[in-house]
Amino acid sequence: MATGIFITFEGGEGAGKSTQIRRLAQRLNTMGRDVVLTREPGGSEGAEAIRDLLLNGAAEKWSATTETLLMYAARRDHLERVVRPALAEGKIVLCDRFADSTRAYQGAGGDADPGLIEAMERYVVGSDWPSVTLILDLPVDKGLTRAASRGGGEARFESKGQAFHERLRAAFLAIAEREPQRCVVVVADQSIDAVEADIWAAVEPRLKAG
Ligand code: TMP
């Protein structure tokens, strides 16, 4: 059976994930690879509807436990309808955030029970973990300044305060330390071109021939 490659991007707010994911998609397209660019929460019609519920409104609108359940409802739909079918067709799936964001935002940033998150991972993600996860790392104050200057809506998580975001950063770095086979930490506090080069150095060896 043809199997594609699942690549995820993670990190705090304002780390430059969107720019980098677009650049990687362009590069892979130029090489003739079939790429699906997607995001979480969202990426399928149903999951995008759940995204609206999650990202708009007051910071305390949902508890971290309810957020976990909503994130995983969205993730299930996205995996079922978009990610798994694309991988089965041999495509490269680039996803802006995935399960590590739930570990960081709801588990470390919030107070969701790690046992709930693990159970959801087993049930919803199963063995479909990414081949590589790029964790874009940036000091919290720089990330929040960048995110604020970008403006726009969907700022529920941005508004949660410095201590919350420091816990996120530490959580992403801890995940990378625990899972060095899957995760690569990329220093995001450098030029866009330099970040792109570091990402390419991590991705290229993992591309299968074809
Ligand atoms: P982004 O598209 O700007 O990255 O926004 C998505 C927001 O949702 C971001 O603030 C992180 C948050 N999020 C979680 O809290 N848990 C999750 O599992 C995911 C995927 C995202």
pLDDT (0 to 100) of residue 159 = 80
Residue 105 CA: nearest ligand 1 atom is 15
For a mutational test of ligand 1's pocket, the pick from 13, 20, 100, 101, i.e. the residue with the most ligand atoms closer than 8 A to its C-beta, is 101
pLDDT (0 to 100) of residue 111 = 95
The 3-state DSSP class for residue 6 equals strand
Residue 157 CA: nearest ligand 1 atom is 10
The highest-level CATH class for domain 5-209 is alpha beta
| pLDDT tens for the chain, residues 1 to 210 | 458 999 999 998 889 999 999 999 999 999 999 999 999 999 999 999 999 999 998 888 999 999 999 999 999 999 999 999 999 999 999 999 999 999 999 999 999 999 999 999 999 999 999 999 999 999 999 998 888 888 777 778 878 888 999 999 999 999 999 999 999 999 999 999 999 999 999 999 998 644
Q: Are 169 and 12 in contact (CB under 8 A)?
A: yes
- Structure pTM? 0.95
Number of H helices, E strands in the chain: 9, 5
| Strand ranges inside 12-156, DSSP E | 35-39, 92-96, 132-137
Helix, strand, coil fractions of the chain, as percent rounded to 5: 55, 15, 30
